[in-house]
Structure 1
C-alpha cells in the first residue's frame, strides 16, 4: 500500500496522493521564484513522484485534471490548487473567496500550501493518561487562553498557552483528568459568515484532517507535542475533538480545496448523484469507502505517534458507522480496535447526527464512552422542578436504561455533562429562559430552542442579590449532581466559575467577548466549591467509574423508598447509597439530594 503524503528520505523526498479518477496530477512546489509543477506518475489509484534532496520545509500543493461534471460526481479543475489530505502543517489559514467555486479560476494565491515535514521519530507509546470516571475538561484553545492574565500576550490564543504553569495549576486545582481540545486542525469559515463580519470560532469545519491550524498552533506539530508533554507532566491527559463527518468544502456551491478536486468519491452521494447531508454542513464523508476510513485512521495514528494524544472525541460520530444507514458493527470500529496504536486510546462518541435514524446513544462499542444528553436534560429538568426523583435516580446511577441492564464489575460508558460548547453555559442555564443569539445574524433562529433552562425571575444579568443567590444555589446543585454521578463526567471551561455567553447558545461564530473566557470576572467561591467536589470525586474514582454492586435508595430517615416517595415531586430528601466493588478497599458512597434546599452532599464511609 502506498504511503500517502510527503516523506523525506535519506537522499530524496517522495510525494504521493490518492486521485483514482484523475487524468493527470501535478505536484506544485512554491518558492520565491513562484510555482514549479512536476508531472506525477500513476500507481493504481495513487499518483507518486520522488525528487532528489531533502525538501523538508518546502511549500507544496497539487493540481489535478480530469472531467469537470459536478452532477456526475467529478470536480477536476487544474486551475485549483489542492491541499494534500495528508498534510500535517500549512503555511496560512483557509479563507473564503468566490474563486474557490469558479471553474477555471486559479486559486494558488488563496489556498494554503502544505509544508513538507522533517523526518521525526515517533514518541514512545505510553498508556493513555486518563482514568474512566475522571473529569474531562472541554475547552476552546483560543477562547480559553486569549484573556488569561498570566499567559504572555504573544502566546495567548494558541496551543502553547495550555502549557503555561498558571493554566496547568488551574487544571490541577480542579483535578482534571484530561483536557478535551475543540478542533485544532485547519478549518474554513462557512460562506455566509464573512459577509456578516463573523468567523467560525469553533473549528468544526475542517478541510485537511491532520493539518494543524496555523493560527491556533503556529509552531506546528512540535508545539502540540511539547504542550501535550507539559500537560502529561502535570498528570493531565489530552483528547482531541476530531471532525471526520464532513469537510469545509460544503455543498454543491462550495469550493474546491482538497478532496473534492482529488477524490470526490470520499463524499457520500445519493443514487441520483446529489451529496448526502447527514451533518447539516453540506456534505458527509463516506465511511463505507475504505480510503475514507484509512484517512481517519492515519490521522489518529499521526496524533498518537507524533504528538502523544491520549484519545479522541468524535463529532457526529454515527456518520463513521453509516453506509448509508447506521451499523453498530461498522468496519471502522474493528479497524480501530485492531490497530496497535489506537486500541487502547480513549474514544468518546457524540452519538447523534441529523441524518435519518441519527440518534444512537448507547449503541457504540463496549469500550467507547458516549456523550449522554439525557443526563444533561433530565438533571436540568429535575432542578427546574419538571421531573421527579425516579428519573434523576436513573441518571445518577449511570443511566443503566441506556447503557444496558445493571452490570456490576463493568465500567459505565456514560459521559455525564450539564453543558457543552454547543448550548448554554451552566451560568446561562439558570439565567436565561430562552436563547439570545441575535449577534449570529440569523434572527435568533439558530441554536437549540428547548434548553430546559430558567431565569429565576429575571432574564439575563441581574443586580438583585436574591436572584444572584438563587442562581448560585441552582448552579451548585447542578454541579453537585454532576460530580456525584456514576460514569465519566465533563465540565466545559469556565463553568466552574460562572462564565456567561450572555444567553447565546450557539456561539460558533463569536470570536469575541461573547465566547472568550473572562478570567478577571471569576467567581472564586464557586471555583473553590467545584475544586472541592472534584477532589472528593478524584480520591475515589472507582466508586464513580463502575455500576455499583449494590444500591439502596433511602429517605432522609434512612428507610427504603416507597412508591409514594418515588412519585413525590415536592422536594423531599432522598439518599443514593452504593456499595463499592469488592476488593477495591474503597468505602461506601452516599449521596444525599434535597431539591427543596438545593442540597447535594457526597460522603464516603471509611
Structure 2
C-alpha cells in the first residue's frame, strides 16, 4: 500500500471534512484501542492505503490527510476488545461505514463476511470471524459540500395551512411514462416538472418523503428475492440512498429536488429513522456502529450481550449518550442547513424519548430540539408509538411537535364502516382531538390526521378488502395488521358490479371529505387521489414493484373523477378558513350576538342531547362552524345505510344554504341552489355534505342558546372524549 501523509488534525467536526486543502477525519469511539482509516481506489475494489489515525482527543480519533481530495473512497477498521458479554464487539476485519459519511458508493452484497462472528458456529455471536468484509461493503465518499442555492426560499407554510402528501421517491415516478426512463424512480425523476405539476394541481403544500437516508435491504428479504422498499433500515444518517440518485449524478441531485419543490411553493419533510439501525440484534451484521462502539451507540440490556429493543428491528439507538445524541442533532441540522429541508417525521418516535421502560416528554432529545436555534424553527412530526412498554403515546409529545393521530384513523374508519357508538369519537376527531392534544399551549394542528398511510391498505383497498392479502411478502400472510377496520362493500377484491363500484367510490369520497374538513393537519397518501391499489396487501414494505408504485397509465374514469374531487376538496379547505383553524373549538362566543364557534346538531336541526351522544344506533350528525365575520359552514354526515332527512338550521342571520360538496354525487360547487333554513334536506345514505350559509347583514337575530340537555362541557357543546 502507498504511504500517505497524515497530520494530527482536529477532533472537530466529526466525519470527513474537506477544507479546500485536505481532509480531516474524525471518529468517536470511547472504547477503541486504535482506529485505521482505509482508502480505496475509485472503483472501491482495492484498498490503496491504510492510515492509523494519530490522535485521540476526548474519545475522538482524528487525523488530517493533506493529499486527499473530494471523491476519495474510504472506510474504517476499529480495534478494541471483542467481549460481547460486556457489550464490546470490535472486529478490525470488518470495514465500517463512517456514521458521518455524506455519501456512499457501491452496494452492500450480502455475505457471511459481514458478520463479526462465525455464522453457524455453536458459540453463535461469542465466536470471532476473521474474514475481511471490504469486498462486499459500500464505501464512504469524501464530498465537496459546496452548492449554489441561488435565491432558494423556504415556503414556510403555516401549520394551519399545511396539507401533507406522503410519497415514496421511487414509487412516485417508477412507472411515469412522461419522465425519462433513466430518471424514473430517482430524485431527478421526482423533480421532473410534470411530476411537480401534479402536486401543484392537487393543491398539497408539503411533501413527506419516505426514508431517503442510506439504508440496506435486509438479508432475509434479498434471499427471498425481495427488497426493503420502504427504507426503514437506515445505516448512514447524513447520506442519501444511492438507489435514488440517477446514473452519473451525485448527492446534489437531492438538493435540486428540494429547490424545485420550493420554487413550486411545496415544502419537503423527511421521514427519518433514528430509533434503530440496519445492524439488527446480536446476530446481525457488523456494518458501522456495532464495530465502532457498540456499548455506547446502542441501548443494551442488563446482560450486555443482548440489545434492549423497543422497535421490533433488533436494536434501539442510545440517545441518552451525548455523542449519539450529537450525531442525531448534527444529522438533522445537516439536512436543514445544507439540504434546505423543511422538517422531519420521526419513525417510532416514542423510542426517542425513552428511559428504557418509561417515556418522558422532557427527555434529553426533545429538550435538545426545543432549544436548538435551527431545529426549533422547522416542522417536527412524531409517529407517537413503538412496541416497547407503554409505547402508545399519542398526544403526549411536547409543545412544538405534531403527531400522527392513529386514533383519528381508527375512529373515522369505524364510523364510516358503520360501527355502533362512534358519534363521540367521530366528533372528537373532526375538531382536532382536543382531549388528547390540548395542553401546554398546543394547537389543533398538532393532530396530523390521516385515513391511510404507507403502512396499511391504500384508500381504494380500504373499501375493497375485508382481509389482508400479503402472500407476495412470502411470510404466509402472517405479517401486516389484522385490525384494518376496512369494508369491501360486499365483494372481496376486484369486481365489475356497478352498484358495488359506485358504493366504493362514495366511501372513498367520504373518507377524503372527512380528512380535509376535519380540524388539524391532513395527510394524504400517495396515489389515494387516483385509485392506487396494492391488491389487498397491507404491508408492502418489501414490494419494490408495480404493486406499490404510483399508477399513471391505467387510471380509470372513476379514478380520474376521484382525483378531480380530491383537488376540489383541497381547494375548499384552502378557501374556507373555518375548516383549518389553529385553536381548538369549544362552543365559545365569536361575536357580540352570542354566536358560538361550534354547534353539534341532530337531524331535526336541534342541538345534540345527552341521549343522542350515547345512543349506539346514532350514525347521523351535523356540525355547524361559525366565524366572527359571519361565515358559517355546515357539515352533515350519515354513515347509516338509509337516507335521512336533515332539517337545516335557522341560527343567526342565515337566509339560505348552498351545497359546496356532496359525496353522494361526487360534486364540488354544484349549480347554485338556495336552500331555505328550516327546510328538510335529504342526506343520502353513507354520505357527507358541506354547505355554506348566505347571510343577510341587515338582520340582527341572535343565535338561540339551547344549552339544555347538551352533552357536558362549556356551553353544553363539548363532546365526550
Question: Contact 1:59–1:115 at 8 Å: present in 2 too?
Answer: yes
Q: Which residue of 1 aligns with 2:445?
A: 412
Give 1:153 shift.
0.6
Give 1:390 shift.
1.9
Residue 567 of structure 2 corresponds to residue 531 of structure 1: yes
For 1:390 and 1:517, the matched residues in 2 are separated by 36
Deviations 1:551-590 (A, max 9, x none): 101134432122343345556642211234x5xx683333
Residue 436 of structure 2 corresponds to residue 402 of structure 1: yes
Distance of aligned partners of 1:254 and 1:474 in 2 relative to their CA distance in 1, 3 Å threshold = same
Question: Contact 1:94–1:187 at 8 Å: present in 2 too?
Answer: no
Question: Contact 1:400–1:406 at 8 Å: present in 2 too?
Answer: no
For 2:26 and 2:260, the matched residues in 1 are separated by 34
Distance of aligned partners of 1:306 and 1:122 in 2 relative to their CA distance in 1, 3 Å threshold = farther
For 2:470 and 2:364, the matched residues in 1 are separated by 40
For 1:35 and 1:357, the matched residues in 2 are separated by 51
Higher normalized contact order (CA 8 Å, seq sep 6+, divided by chain length): 1
Give 1:296 shift.
0.9
Show structure 2 runs of 5+ residues with no match: 1-10, 118-128, 589-596, 641-684, 695-721
For 1:244 and 1:20, the matched residues in 2 are separated by 21
Name which of 371, 379, 384 aligns with 1:346. Answer: 379
Residue 637 of structure 2 corresponds to residue 593 of structure 1: yes
Question: Contact 2:638–2:687 at 8 Å: present in 1 too?
Answer: yes
Give 1:505 shift.
0.5
- Specify the SS of the correspondent of 2:338: helix
For 1:572 and 1:406, the matched residues in 2 are separated by 33
Query: Alignment RMSD, CA only?
Result: 2.0
The more displaced of 194-203 and 212-221 is 212-221
Tell me the TM-score normalized by structure 2: 0.81
Deviations 1:147-204 (A, max 9, x none): 0121111100011112111111111111111000000111112231122111110100
For 1:604 and 1:309, the matched residues in 2 are separated by 37
Q: Which residue of 2 aligns with 1:308?
A: 340
Q: Which residue of 1 aligns with 2:302?
A: 271
Q: Which residue of 1 aligns with 2:51?
A: 38
- Specify the SS of the correspondent of 1:172: helix
Deviations 1:531-557 (A, max 9, x none): 100111122356414223521011344
Trace 1:372-383 onto structure 2 (pairs within 5 A): 372-383=405-416
Trace 1:199-218 onto structure 2 (pairs within 5 A): 199-218=227-246
Q: Give the number of the structure whose alpha-carbon radius of gyration is greater.
A: 2
Trace 1:5-20 onto structure 2 (pairs within 5 A): 5-20=15-30
Residue 66 of structure 2 corresponds to residue 66 of structure 1: no
Name which of 93, 98, 106 aligns with 2:112. Answer: 98
Question: Contact 1:184–1:217 at 8 Å: present in 2 too?
Answer: no
The more displaced of 364-373 and 71-80 is 71-80
Question: Contact 1:201–1:508 at 8 Å: present in 2 too?
Answer: yes
Deviations 1:215-255 (A, max 9, x none): 11343431111101100111110000000000000111111
For 1:441 and 1:587, the matched residues in 2 are separated by 54
Question: Contact 2:438–2:444 at 8 Å: present in 1 too?
Answer: no
Give 1:127 shift.
5.2
Question: Contact 2:155–2:262 at 8 Å: present in 1 too?
Answer: no
Q: Which residue of 1 aligns with 2:426?
A: 392
Q: Which residue of 2 aligns with 1:79?
A: 93
Q: Which residue of 2 aligns with 1:28?
A: 38
Q: Which residue of 1 aligns with 2:701?
A: none
Distance of aligned partners of 1:569 and 1:238 in 2 relative to their CA distance in 1, 3 Å threshold = same
Question: Contact 1:423–1:447 at 8 Å: present in 2 too?
Answer: yes
Trace 1:29-428 onto structure 2 (pairs within 5 A): 29-31=39-41, 34-41=47-54, 42-53=56-67, 55-101=69-115, 102=117, 103-120=129-146, 129-133=156-160, 134-218=162-246, 219-264=249-294, 265-273=296-304, 274-324=306-356, 325-387=358-420, 388-404=422-438, 410-428=443-461
Q: Which residue of 2 aligns with 1:508?
A: 541
The more displaced of 386-395 and 477-486 is 386-395
Question: Contact 1:95–1:188 at 8 Å: present in 2 too?
Answer: no
Give 1:36 shift.
0.8
Give 1:137 shift.
0.4
Q: Which residue of 1 aligns with 2:524?
A: 491
- Specify the SS of the correspondent of 1:500: coil
Question: Contact 1:128–1:344 at 8 Å: present in 2 too?
Answer: no
Give 1:272 shift.
1.2
- Specify the SS of the correspondent of 1:420: coil
Trace 1:557-572 onto structure 2 (pairs within 5 A): 557-568=604-615
Deviations 1:127-161 (A, max 9, x none): 56333132100011111110012111110001111
Q: Which residue of 1 aligns with 2:496?
A: 463
Tell me the TM-score normalized by structure 1: 0.95
Deviations 1:580-602 (A, max 9, x none): 4x5xx683333221223222223
Trace 1:418-457 onto structure 2 (pairs within 5 A): 418-457=451-490
Question: Contact 2:175–2:546 at 8 Å: present in 1 too?
Answer: no
Question: Contact 1:122–1:305 at 8 Å: present in 2 too?
Answer: no
For 1:210 and 1:355, the matched residues in 2 are separated by 27
Show structure 1 runs of 5+ residues with no match: none
Q: Which residue of 1 aligns with 2:599?
A: 552
Give 1:340 shift.
1.6
Name which of 604, 607, 622 aligns with 1:575. Answer: 622
For 2:455 and 2:692, the matched residues in 1 are separated by 34
Figure out how many residues of one structure are paired with residues of the other and give that number.
602
Question: Contact 1:145–1:517 at 8 Å: present in 2 too?
Answer: yes
Question: Contact 1:130–1:310 at 8 Å: present in 2 too?
Answer: no
- Specify the SS of the correspondent of 2:130: coil
Give 1:604 shift.
4.2
